[in-house]
Amino acid sequence: LDYQMPGMNGADVAKAIAADSRLSSIPVVLLTSVDQVDFGRMVIDFGIVAHLTKPARSAVLLGTVISAIQKARMQGAKAHFVREPIAAQAAPPAFTVIRGPTAAPSGPIDILIAEDNDVNQLVFGQILNGFGLSYRIAGNGRTAVEMYRALRPRLVLMDVSMPEMNGYEATRAIRAIEAQNGERTPIIGVTAHALKGDREKCIEAGMDDYLPKPVSPDRLGAKIGTWLSETVTAKTA
């Protein structure tokens, strides 16, 4: 939430959010151009969870947002996010989380992300938006297989631990589909820790590579660039 806005500044907006029972559980991060705001008072009065001085570095901003979400969850609050940009704003790729087999979006995409954790979905989305790559997110392994059938992505980022069907099982299912049509899509396994044997498990399941969490833009860009045979870098304004 930017502090300096015409008509209604950030403090007024934060006050209105805090006063609305439908919105008060949403964590608010305040952005200011100069460090002149009494942040301590605003925390008490409006429940603002963090304050950043502009220009905020992307890594700091992302870390702050993730921390705000995690704190809200610990307090029993639920953060709500708009997953799909308004149609008129065509610049960023769409961010759609599909949790079941219905209403899968159509059309070719660069990356299919299979990830059930909301925070990790946000991290992947922020990074891929920065690369200018199109993507969709499946919230479990079974949905990932269905979305693979519909979207035929250029590459799949596959979390290995997911409900309904884990990443290893989903990869085997995708490879079975490809065995019938002669295709081969690069699949990168995403693991929670860099443990000995993780890479071997991913390769055995039919994945082409693996990437341990936490995921950084540099490492993810390097992996994607390797398997798509192109240079992947963050866009600059």
Q: Write out the chain's pLDDT in tens, 237 residues.
A: 777 788 888 778 888 888 888 887 788 887 777 655 565 566 656 667 777 777 777 777 777 777 777 777 666 543 333 333 333 333 333 344 444 444 444 567 899 999 998 888 888 888 888 888 889 999 999 999 999 999 999 999 999 999 889 999 999 999 999 999 899 999 999 987 667 788 889 999 999 999 988 888 888 999 999 998 765 555 554
> Residue 194: what pLDDT?
63
Radius of gyration from C-alpha coordinates of the chain: 20
Domain around 28:
10-74
User: Are 125 and 32 in the same domain?
Assistant: no
Residue 23 per-residue DSSP state: T
**Does residue 43 sit within a domain?**
yes
**Does residue 85 sit within a domain?**
no
> Residue 29: what pLDDT?
82
**Does residue 66 sit within a domain?**
yes
Check: CB of residue 84 under 8 Å from CB of residue 96. yes
> Residue 87: what pLDDT?
37
**Does residue 144 sit within a domain?**
yes
What total number of domains does the chain contain?
Answer: 2
Last residue of a domain, one of 74, 89, 112: 74
